[in-house]
Amino acid sequence: MHRGIEIHDGIYWIGVNDYETNLFEGLWPLPKGVSYNAYMIIDEKVALVDTVKGSYFSQYLDRVKALLPEGKSIDYLVINHMEPDHSGAIKVLVEAYPRMKIVGNKKTIQFLEGFYGITKNTVTIEDGEVLSLGTHKLKFYLTPMVHWPETMMTYDLETGTLFSGDAFGGFGALNGGIFDNQVDLEYYEDEILRYFSNIVGRYSAMVQRAFKKLEGIDIKTIAATHGPIWRKNPEKIISLYDQWSKQEAEEGVVLVYGSMYGNTQRMMEAVAKGLCDEGVQKIRLHNIAKSHISFVIRDIWKFKGLIMGSCTYNTELFPPMKQLISAIENRMMKNRYVGVFGSYSWSGGALKELEEFASNNKGWNFIEPVIEAQHSPKEEELKKCKLLGTNMAKAIRKSL
C-alpha cells in the first residue's frame, strides 16, 4: 500500500479507488469503478481536504498516518463538499483526531450537524477568506450547486492547485497513474462526460457562474474529488467543462427507441439510413430497454440531434422511454434538434406524449415529419422515417 502520491511540494493525493460499488448514488453503473480523491497538505500546519466514502475509511486513515510527520497531528479538515462519497469518513476521522478543526462555509456546518451530529471544533469561513498553513495559503471560493448548495472550492495560492470538488471530475477508478499525463485520457473522457451530464449537468448555469468567479485565477493543477488530476494540461478539462455547461453540442445524432417486437425498431433503422445517406457518421443508437439511461443521457448531452421512437404500451409511452423524458427534462437540456415517431396496435398514446415533449421543450428545434405506424410500418411510413433522418442531418449541418 503506497503512502499517497505527491502532487506538488507538500501536497499529496490520499484518495482511494472503489471497484466494488455497482451503482453510484444507488443509480449510476460503474463499469470502470470510481475514485474518491482526497488530499493532504503538510506544512507548519497539516490540513486534509475532503475525505472518502465511509467504507473506505481504514485505507484513507492508513494513508494519513503514513504521511503524518512525527510529532504532528491534523490541524484542519477542509470540507469542499458534503455528499457522503466524500464526507462519509468524517465521523470516524474526528474520533481519530479529536482536536482537528473542521473548516467549511455556513451551509457545510449545517449539513455536518445534519448528517453526522458534529457541532464541535468547526470553523466557518466566508467566500474569499484565506487560511494560512505556513507556506501554503488556502483561499476559499463558494460555488453553490456545483453540485450541492454547500459546495465550495479551495485554491492553494502557493502552488496554483485548485481543489475543485466534483467539478472537473468523473467516473473511472485510477488504475495506477493519477495524473492527466500518466493515464489514457480517451479511456476517461466518456466517463467524465457521463458523470457531468447525469450528476452535475442540471446545474450547468451554476457551473458557468463558478467559472466567472474563478476568472483570472492562475490554475496550474486541478485536483477534483473524482478521476484524474489535471497537472499537465488543466486547460483541457476546463475547456470541456465550459463547452458542456454551455450546452454546446457536437455534430452527431442519438437515436433512442423502445420496441417490443421489432416494428418500431424497423422505423428507427430507416431513420438511421436517412442520416447515413446524408453523411452523418456519428450515430449513437440506443434500445432504451437495454441501454442504461446514464449512457443515453451522456450521448444526448454530447450530440446535437436526438430522434426518439416508441411503441405504445397500455395506451401510454413505453415505460423506459417515459423515464428518459423525465431525465432529460430534469437536466434542462437545450440547444438541440429533436424528431419523433411512434407506433401502436389498437389505440395510440406513445406518439402523443413524444410530440408533447418535443414541442413543449424550450430550446429544442423540432424536425418534421412526425410518423405514426399501426401494427407494422408500411413502405410509405418507412420512407417518411428515412426523410426524418435526412431532414435532421440537413438541419444539424446548417446549424454548425
* Stretch of residues binding ligand FEO (CB under 6 A), selected from 78-86, 291-299, 365-373, 383-391: 78-86
In angstroms, the CA 400 to CA 379 distance is: 32
- Shortest distance in whole angstroms from residue 178 CB to ligand FEO: 16
* Stretch of residues binding ligand FEO (CB under 6 A), selected from 79-87, 93-101, 270-278, 365-373: 79-87
Q: Binding to ligand FEO by residue 81, rule CB under 6 A?
A: yes
* Cell of residue 259, nine digits: 420496441
* Cell of residue 266, nine digits: 424497423
The backbone torsions φ and ψ at residue 109, rounded to the nearest 5 degrees and listed phi first, read -65, -35
Task: List the interface residues with ligand FEO, window 86-105 (CB under 6 A).
Answer: 86
* Stretch of residues binding ligand FEO (CB under 6 A), selected from 12-20, 81-89, 171-179, 338-346: 81-89
Q: Binding to ligand FEO by residue 85, rule CB under 6 A?
A: yes
In this chain, which residue has its C-beta nearest to ligand FEO?
Answer: 83
Q: Binding to ligand FEO by residue 75, rule CB under 6 A?
A: no
Nearer to ligand FEO among residue 166 and residue 180 (C-beta): 166
| Residues 6+ away with beta carbon under 8 Å from 104 | 78, 79, 82, 112, 122, 123, 124, 125, 150, 152
Return the DSSP state at 100: P
Task: List the interface residues with ligand FEO, window 217-256 (CB under 6 A).
Answer: 225-226
Task: List the interface residues with ligand FEO, window 333-372 (CB under 6 A).
Answer: none
Please choose, from the candidates 47, 51, 19, the residue with its C-alpha nearest in 3D space to the C-alpha of residue 38: 51
Nearer to ligand FEO among residue 81 and residue 298 (C-beta): 81
- Shortest distance in whole angstroms from residue 194 CB to ligand FEO: 13
Nearer to ligand FEO among residue 225 and residue 259 (C-beta): 225
- Shortest distance in whole angstroms from residue 362 CB to ligand FEO: 27
Which amino acid type is present at position 249?
Answer: A
Nearer to ligand FEO among residue 25 and residue 184 (C-beta): 25
Nearer to ligand FEO among residue 224 and residue 267 (C-beta): 224
- Shortest distance in whole angstroms from residue 195 CB to ligand FEO: 8
In angstroms, the CA 396 to CA 399 distance is: 5
Please choose, from the candidates 345, 344, 342, 346, the residue with its C-alpha nearest in 3D space to the C-alpha of residue 356: 342
In angstroms, the CA 140 to CA 162 distance is: 10
* Stretch of residues binding ligand FEO (CB under 6 A), selected from 77-85, 107-115, 170-178, 186-194: 77-85
* Cell of residue 55, nine digits: 467504507
Cα 108 to its chain centre, rounded Å, is 21
**Cα angle vertex 112, ends 108, 117, to 5°?**
160
Applying CB under 6 A, the site for ligand FEO has a residue count of: 8
Which of 43, 75, 83, 150 binds ligand FEO (CB under 6 A)? It is 83
Q: Binding to ligand FEO by residue 18, rule CB under 6 A?
A: no
* Stretch of residues binding ligand FEO (CB under 6 A), selected from 7-15, 82-90, 135-143, 177-185: 82-90
- The answer to whether the CB of 341 falls within 8 A of the CB of 353 is no
Q: How far is CA 301 from CA 78, 160, 202, 246, 360, in A?
A: 33, 31, 11, 11, 19
Q: How far is CA 110 from CA 116, 149, 167, in A?
A: 10, 11, 22
Task: List the interface residues with ligand FEO, window 146-185 (CB under 6 A).
Answer: 147, 166
Nearer to ligand FEO among residue 83 and residue 156 (C-beta): 83
Interface residues with ligand FEO (CB under 6 A) are 81, 83, 85-86, 147, 166, 225-226
